[in-house]
Structures are given as structure tokens and as C-alpha cells.
Chains A and B, each alone.
Chain A
Amino acid sequence: MLAYIFRRLLYALPILIGVNLITFALFFIVNTPDDMARMQLGVKRVTPEAIEKWKADRGYDKPLFVNAAAGGVGTVTETIFFEKSVRMFVGDFGRADDGRDIAREIKARMWPSLAIALPTFILGLFVTVSLALLLAFFRATALDFWGVVLCVALMSISGLFYIIGGQYLIAKVWKLVPISGFGDGLDAWRFLILPVFIGVVSGIGSSTRWYRTIFLEEVSKDYVRTARAKGLAETVVFFRHILRNAMIPILTGVVVVIPLLFMGSLLTESFFGIPGLGSYTIDAINAQDFAVVRSMVFIGSVLYIVGLILTDISYTLVDPRIRFS
């Protein structure tokens, strides 16, 4: 198994290099650092000196790939590509425009993001799988029909509406929880209830419908008929046979997002003023802090690839037919 994981990690390396090259091309070749400087400084303050200073502050004043002037190892290392892209592989993301170290910022902001994303994920999974199981259990009845209609309606509502509407109704009109903010340690729970609740509700429509289709596909399989023919009760058929088999396709979609929970949610965090990675990204986008956006793209891809590897491992754990090969 260890050998398998090691091999998968090796496969992941070329993909990460690809991601790195794409982001590098996007940020430094589509636009030259001069263009970025001109845009950030605004029309009025553009002087050649100001552009040079902007570039020097960020280390963008070096050549892209080959620095012939530096000589020796410096020909390769003292370039934008090496300093800004290659060093990401060892966790060095450089500094944001406000001078702070991005890596340290990420380490600090990861936890508030996780505090929202993890409960939302677990509760959401529990609620939607239960609802889907309910609909599948009462398949082809009025409950199933109207349940699906409700799901389609729920998934047609914009995610923004859930957040804006929920915040207005629950926090402002009913005054049940604080509108936004975040506290230290255990005190944070008051601020977490509403975003978690809204996160769960906004996911109900599409997930329930998706899991219901998976359950229904299992229901029509032969082993289910065999189980019924043996005289097993319908509840036993559902919880012992169908639920366990349906977990395999459900796992594919679910395990892969677990590492990404660290990234938080852009919308939720910005609406509720949570100092996590999602709001960090949004602030960086609005302030056009290219270094931060670049780092987040890289980290997001790393986490996604970790998720893919975890998915493969979880397959072998739940499905004895699948072996490492």
C-alpha cells in the first residue's frame, strides 16, 4: 500500500508542474510585470521610476527564465520563474502586497475556514444522504415526486440568495445569532451556527437529487431482488444492502473535496466576515494582489490532487473487489 501511495504521489508531480507552468504563463507571460505595475499604480502615478520601484519591491525586476548577468547557479535561480514559481514546491509563497508572509498567513487563516467548512460538510452529507434515502425508500409515491420537485426548485435558487436571505431573516429580523464576525477558540460557535446552517440548506437541492439517483440505480440491481426474495425486510434491504453499495459512487464525489475544505468558501466567508482563506482570496482578488491569487491557485491544486489520491485509497477500503495495482 505504501508503495502504491508513493507511486501515486510521483504521478501527481507532473500534474503539479503543469499547474505551475499554467499559472506562471498566465501571470507573467500574458501580461508583463510592467503591465501589472501600470494597472496597479493607476493612470496618474505611472512614471518609469514608479514602475521600476513597484517591480523591485516584489522581485519582478529580474529576467523571466535566464539571468545571464548573475552567473553560475544564479543564471537559473535569480529569475522570476525560479523565485516565484519553483519555490512554491517547498512552501515558499513570497510576500503579499501588504508585506506579510503568505505562507504564515495561510497557516493562520486555515483554521477558521475549516471551522466552518468541516461542520457544513459533515452535517450536509448526513442530511442529504438521509433525505435521499427517504425519497428512494418511498420511490414512485407522491412524497418522492414532490420531494424531487422541491429539490429542483431548491437547486434553481442562487447561492447568493440563501446567504443574503438567511442572513437577513435569521440574524437581522429574528436576531437569533450575530450577523457576522468571528471569535477566538470555543467562543466562535455563536458565529458558526448561521453560516453552517446556510451552507447545509443551500446544498440540499442538488445533492439530495444526485444521491437519490444513485440509490435508485442500486435498487434496480439483481442483488436487491435476491435480498427481497430471501424474505428480508425492506428496511434491512435498504440499510444493509443498498446504502452500503451506494456508498461507493457517493465516496467518489465526496472524498475528493475533503482536502479542499481547508480553502473555505469564498462567498460564505466574505458575507459573514470570517477571517479564513476564502475571504483572504476574495480580498486579494479585489485588491489585485497577484502573489496571493497565484499561491491560492497552487495550494488549491495540491489539495485537489491529495483528494484524488485519498479517493483511490478510500475505494479500496470500502470495496474489497478493488485492489491496488
Chain B
Amino acid sequence: MSGFQIVVLWSDILVWLLLAAGIGLGVLISRSPPLLAAWRRVGASRPGMASATVLLAFVLVGLLDSLHYRPALESQPGEQTQYAIEVLSVLDALVGPLRTENEKTYSSPLATHLHAKETTEVPGVGTVREFPRLKFGGVHLDDPAQRGGDVAMTALRAVGLAALVWLALAALVAARCGGWAAVWRGRTRFAWNAVLATLGAMLLVLLPVFLLAGDYHVFGTDKVGQDVLYQILKSVRTALIIGLVTTLVMLPLAVVLGIVAGYFRGWVDDLIQYLYTVLNSIPGVLLIAAAVLMMQVVIDTHPEWFATAAERADLRLLALCFILGITSWTGLCRLLRGETLKLRELEYIQAAQAFGVSNWRIILRHILPNLMHIVIIALVMDFSGLVLAEAVLSYVGIGVDPTMTSFGTMINNARMELGREPVVWWSLAAAFSAMFILVLAANLFADAVRDAFDPRAA
């Protein structure tokens, strides 16, 4: 590869903005003692930190997949460099063969042969019906019968490597936090034992998978021969964007309108209440369906807006986030309105009003900080629901662009596979398991955050 041209998609900008916002929020929190104390409680929660470790791994994959470029094509010296049409990401470059080494069609996990028999012409023998060898999976083996031993050896090496890496990490943590015993018995303020245990489990599973992925299709290949593991990795970014960017759309609406309605009351309150009652009374899926149908019309009638297919898929993803955000802010808004109604009657707000502090300043300095816990809880609670919703919407045909890899499109493409003989189960199993792990981690993390922030639970 001689060069590349950096491509910045809109969703990339939002992803990195979100990261920056997260860091900024972290700085703000470290200055506010009550919020910092609450986060310390999250840090001390073992399920919370174990799930946070898993989530971080997902976020890392998503971030790597959010740096896009177009590789330069081979060109003669003196010619102007041409760039490929397809947009790649850093993740694509890192996983190399997973993206490029495609088979002809289905092959089961770790297979050396295709899943279905094919008729081939063998010189001197005539036509033979057999399972053809794969182009990539296990191609380094002279005899496919050696596969079992080879897989076991690679896995064993990976487990050994995992143990070494883990021991090094554990030693580092133990050295910093006052010895092994303190870490294991849970006497550290941060739940290091949970983090280390989760890391150990992840290394034990992931290292063998990635070492084996160099020679095999670990989770098999799909109908067009694409590696399922690669698709899973690519789906992570879509799921994260749906889960996070949507809240980014929803949050300002819910916070501003909720506080304004509760604080000013009167006709403003009536208007905002009317607005969210109307939106709320349309069943969610139907409103999303109607909005997405209309968005499709806009996209289809304006092909000139999009330079590449990736850009179109990208904008469609953002539009979906926008639509999901518009349809889901009502619950949080109602909650914040009710809470603001209570807060504005408290003495310290009345004192501020008596001193002649302006309304906006009261909202910013006195009301908003006291609503932060509700906002943070709502943020983490919504994430898992949105990831699950994406799969359903994509299945119904009102989700992300069909060319974009996501858990929903994977499931949608594989919907008929369980009906085949013999059964093709790996695509569905891999997509559902990855989604389950992501959503479970998000749910556990959300519970830890809620327990730490909810004043009623304390």
C-alpha cells in the first residue's frame, strides 16, 4: 500500500465528539464531590466494573472502526494517484485477512471444506461430487485430517500467551495497589479483582479466537463466503452509534424542554406537555416506520447528495438515530419536568429568586446539577434497549442501510438459514451471542450506575 486518503464520515465526527464529551464530563465530574462520590461507588461495584471492562473492549473496537480512509490504487510512476472507491477503517487494516479472504459460500466454523457438496471435473476420473477445500480456511495444512491437532496446538499457544499477558497485568495492578492479597480480597477502593477476573476470561477467549483467525474462519462464513467474525466486529460500531448518538439527540430535547416546562409552568408547560403527549400517543414502532419510510423517499430521490455508498449508508444510520431520538425523548422529559416542579418549590431556589438571580442562571446553577443523576441513569439505561431495537427495526426493514453491517442485518440475512438442510447455525448464533454479551454488559453496568446514583436506593 503506497498511500491513503483520509475519509471523515459524519458518524465518525460524532463518535469522536462523543468521546471528547465523555472526557469533558469526566473532568466536570471530578470537580463535583457528590457526583465523584457516586462514580466511586460505581467503581467499587464488582458487577459494574466487570461489565465496564467488557464494554470498554466493545468501545475500543468501535473507535478503531471509526477512523476511515481510502487506500491508494496501484499506479504507474508519474501518474496521478487514484484512490479506491471503497472506504476502509483502521480496524479493516488490522484484521487484514478476515476482510479479504472470502470463500465461495457457507463453511462451518473452523472448517477446511465448504459446507455443501459441489460437482467438480477431475482429469482422468470424470465428475466427482465432493466437498471442495476452502481457499483460506486451513489452507496451510497438507492433509485436512491434521486440523484437530493444529487447532488444539494454536489454541494451547494462545492460552499460554493469555496467561502470560494476564499475569503481567495482574502483577502491575498488584504492585500499584498494595499487593496480591489486598487486590484479591477486594480491599481496594476500585474493584480491581472484578476487572482482572473479567480481563482474564476475555483474554482466554479472545486470544485463541484471534490467533486461530489467522488460519481459519473461526465462526465460519456466510452465504457469500464472508467471514462471520469480521461481520461481528463491524457490527459493533453500528450498535454503539445507535446506542450513543441517539441519546445525544434525545438528551438536549428532553433536558431543555423538561426543565423549561417544569420551571416556567403556565402556557409553556401546557405547550410542551401537549407536544410530548401527542408524540407519545403514536406507538413507537409505527412512528419510526412512518419516519423511516419518508426518509427513504428523500434519500432515493436525491442520489446526488452522496459521493459513495458508504456515505449514503452513514447518513441513513444518523437519520435513524435522529428518528429514534425524536421518538424516545418523551419519557425522560416527563420525568425531568416532574422533578423540576418539585425542585422549584424548595427554599434554596426561592432564596435565589428573592436575591434576584435570573431565571436562566437558576436553571443552570441550581436546577440542572440536581437533575444530573436522573440524566445519567436515563443515559445508561437507554443504551441496551436501543441496541436491541436496532436488530428488530433492521429485521422489519426500517433499520440501517442493508449494505451496512449490523447485528440486525446479519440476523435478517440469516433468517432462512435454520430452515436449510443441513442446518446453518453459526451466523445467527454468532450475531445473537455478540449482541447478548453487549446488552448484558450494558444492563449490568446500568444497574451499577443506577444503584450508585439513585438517592432512593442509598
Query: What residues of chain A have their CB less than 8 Å away from a CB belonging to chain B?
Result: 14-15, 18-19, 22-23, 26-27, 30-31, 35-36, 38-39, 152-153, 155-161, 164-165, 168, 172, 260, 263, 266-267, 270, 281-282, 285-286, 288, 290, 293-294, 296-297, 300-301, 304-305, 308
Contacts and interface: CB of A to CB of B under 8 A. Distances in A.
Contact of B301 (A14, A38, A152, A281): A38
A30 B392 contact: no
B395 A160 contact: yes
Nearest to B432: A161
Nearest to A153: B440
Given A35-B301, A260-B283, A285-B398, A156 B293 contact: no
Contacts of A172: 418-419
Nearest to B456: A217
Interface of B: 274-275, 277-283, 285-287, 289-291, 293-294, 296-298, 300-301, 384, 388, 391-392, 395-398, 407, 411, 415, 418-419, 428, 432, 435-436, 439-440, 443-444, 447
A281 B289 contact: yes
B110 to A, nearest CB: 23
Contacts of A158: 388, 391-392, 407, 411, 432, 435-436, 439
A296 B283 CA distance: 9
Contacts of B388: 158-159
Nearest to A31: B297
A172 B423 CA distance: 11
A152 B447 contact: yes
Closest 3 interchain pairs by CB? A18-B278, A156-B440, A300-B283
B281 A305 contact: yes
A281 B388 CA distance: 20
A216 to B, nearest CB: 11
A285 B293 contact: yes
Contact of B294 (A26, A286, A304): A26
Contacts of A270: 396
The main secondary structure of chain B at its interface with chain A is helix
A15 B277 contact: yes
B415 A164 contact: yes
Nearest to B437: A156
Best-surrounded residue of B277, B283, B298, B447 (most CB of chain A within 10 A) = B283
A214 B31 CA distance: 35
Given A160-B395, A172-B419, A288-B296, 8 more contacts: A14-B274, A15-B281, A39-B296, A39-B300, A156-B443, A157-B439, A160-B432, A301-B281
Contacts of B298: 30-31, 35
Contacts of A23: 282, 290
B282 A297 contact: yes
Given A27-B290, A30-B294, A282-B396, A39 B278 contact: no
A267 B399 CA distance: 14
A190 B42 CA distance: 49
Given A285-B293, A293-B289, A304 B283 contact: yes
A300 B327 CA distance: 15
A175 to B, nearest CB: 14
B284 to A, nearest CB: 9
Contacts of B286: 281, 293, 296-297, 300
5 contacts: A39-B300, A152-B444, A157-B439, A285-B397, A297-B282
A12 to B, nearest CB: 9
